[in-house]
Structure 1
Amino acid sequence: MRRGEALALRWTDIDFEHRVLNVERQLQKLAGGVITICEPKSRAGTRQIALDHDTIRSLRAHQRRQEAEQTTAGGTWTDSGYVFTTVLGEPLAPDHVGHVFQQLVRRHGLPPVRLHDLRHGAASMALSAHVDLKVIQHQIGHASIVTTADTYVSVLPQIAREGAEATARLLREAARGYARGQWRASGRERPGRHDDAGGEAA
């Protein structure tokens, strides 16, 4: 998800039972510091994202932490319904989130990375896991699969090579299986195999 999409996410957008979330809006900070809600970057930005079990568990744990913050805040809590909020329930400013992320990167001695780079990292890992490019296009909200391919062109050659090797392995296994079947059907002995104990076994 883009930063603004994540910050605009509401708990009602998450279907825990079916493990999906709906991206329907994004949060932006306008000139003068006014935070507003608007539509996603493009029509393709309005999408449904499948979630894995670990992410569901993390969201549940985060929900419990937020409920504890609400109890602590008492009457000062703002019931905004957002997934990611301040300790008083108010929406987070996008630039503040980016600033805090940079602080965490420096604190833990990580290589220079922007918050937006995590989005690219997630897509690259999905490609490395052999997720179909069309699925990734939908997940990250690109209007065109060409945009997705162009963005991750550095990852695709390695994926293509792995795909070629996997296809070749499948073809070799199929050929060996076919050959074994042919020899069995003919009742002939396979080449390289002898009955005597000192013979060669293929």
Structure 2
Amino acid sequence: MSRLRGPTGRAVTVGEWLARWLQAHPGAASTVAGYAGHIRLYLEPQLGQLLLGELSVTQVQEMFTAIAYEHEKAGRPIRAATLNRVRATLRSALNAAVREGLIDTNPAALAVLPAAPRPRAVVWTAARVEHWARTGERPAVAVWTAEQTAAFLHAIRGHRLYAAYHLIALRGLRRGEAAGLRWFDVDLDEGTAVISGQLQRRNGRLVACPPKTAHSARVIALDHTTVAALRAHRDRQRNEAALYGARYRDSGYVFTNLNGNPVDPGRLTHVFQQMLTEHALPPVRLHDLRHGAATLALAAGVELKVVQDMLGHSSIVLTADTYTSVLPQVAQTAAEKTAAHVLQAGWRLPGTTRHRRPSRRKRRTAASPAGRRAAA
């Protein structure tokens, strides 16, 4: 295998390739920022000086061992999930090198790491709320019940960004998608919104980016309450523009600051956390409103495929694995349906839809005086 060489004929290092790959990456700003962090903190210090064409599985494996050891030594054990994300970044960069014919195989794909279990969302049941209030202990990922979601929306109904949180809580938008929504993406008469991009903060400024994945570009239906919230928001925004005067900037975004500039996704999170404190609601992250929208839709009987499309997931397996075990009533309904199906099947003749008849002996017993007395 010939080594990749740069313009000067010098063999290119892993660090130089990672820099090239990152600069040309077409992903969303938040995704690229995550890759950049992995490269800066882990990949460049550990592998940066090695030659790309000579990188081996052993060297990649030794890198992860060294990272884990250094964190342990510093008293900050690194999570398996973090190591797996770092490997995903390296694997993606080396896959690009394979596609360009620069290396034959991807060493990162063969490295072995501990499995990183995905955190499962749990519901803020009454017992869990009581435990949190008493001890301060809270789940890593939690969602509100329908009643808690309704209480939150009712409590903030007068806030100028109410429609943003309504949209996230009921239709499952990511915060960057809500911040990046423009008025020409929204058809209030037809009750639809096109999710065609997102806003992310990158290098200190807001940047309009493509959706997180190809499947994230989607059309979502807007229920009548969301349409009403957006109509009221549009009226409020027009009034704010008139009051602000000539310096108001009509940016075209649905959710803006008072001067018309698009709202920062980080501000949506900051305001949301302030609201939770003000109204003493069980703590969730803003992104958990998206989780909640999915689980509440499933609880309402919406088909899994429809929920997948609403969220913009690439795979129905991801949707099912993430959400179908969250709400107790979903599992309860499934359990009752299963039991009813089994019990009903017990009275059917095999291979038919006809029900079994009680045996003659049972009929005679029921018809006898003793049987009638027992029945009475």
Q: Which bracket does the TM-score occupy, shorter chain normalised?
A: 0.7 to 0.9
Single out whichever of 93-102 and 77-86 deviates more from structure 2.
93-102
Q: Select 1:7's aligned residue among 179, 201, 205.
A: 179
1:70-95 alpha-carbon deviations (Å, 9 max, x no partner): 11011011111111000111011111
Partners of 2:269 and 2:335 lie apart in 1 by 40
Greater Rg over alpha carbons, structure: 2
Aligned residues, how many? 184
Partners of 1:157 and 1:104 lie apart in 2 by 27
Structure 1 spans left out of the alignment, 5+ residues? 180-191, 193-202
Q: Quickly say closer, same or farther: Cα 1:169–1:52, change in 2 above 3 A.
A: farther
Q: Select 1:104's aligned residue among 275, 291, 296.
A: 275
- The alignment partner of 2:211 has SS state of coil
2:320 is aligned with 1:149: yes
Q: Specify the alignment match of 2:188 in structure 1.
A: 16
Q: Quickly say closer, same or farther: Cα 1:73–1:136, change in 2 above 3 A.
A: same
Q: Specify the alignment match of 1:70 in structure 2.
A: 241
CA positional deviation for 1:163: 4.1
Q: Quickly say closer, same or farther: Cα 1:64–1:106, change in 2 above 3 A.
A: same
2:197 is aligned with 1:25: yes
- The alignment partner of 1:127 has SS state of helix
- The alignment partner of 2:246 has SS state of helix
Q: Is the 8 A contact 1:22 1:48 kept in 2?
A: yes
Q: Specify the alignment match of 1:60 in structure 2.
A: 231
Q: Specify the alignment match of 2:299 in structure 1.
A: 128
Q: Specify the alignment match of 1:36 in structure 2.
A: 207
Q: Is the 8 A contact 2:298 2:324 kept in 1?
A: no
RMSD: 3.0
Partners of 1:75 and 1:164 lie apart in 2 by 62
Structure 2 spans left out of the alignment, 5+ residues? 1-172, 348-353, 356-365, 367-376
Q: Specify the alignment match of 2:254 in structure 1.
A: 83
Q: Specify the alignment match of 2:108 in structure 1.
A: none
Runs of 4+ displaced beyond 4 Å: 166-172
Partners of 1:70 and 1:170 lie apart in 2 by 60
- The alignment partner of 1:131 has SS state of coil
CA positional deviation for 1:159: 2.5
Q: Specify the alignment match of 2:289 in structure 1.
A: 118
> TM-score scaled to structure 1, two decimals?
0.80
Greater relative contact order (Cα 8 A, min sep 6): structure 1 or 2?
A: 1
Task: Read off the aligned partner of 2:188 and give its amino acid letter.
Answer: F
Q: Is the 8 A contact 1:127 1:155 kept in 2?
A: no
1:139-175 alpha-carbon deviations (Å, 9 max, x no partner): 0111111111111142377535414645776996xx9
Single out whichever of 11-20 and 157-166 deviates more from structure 2.
157-166
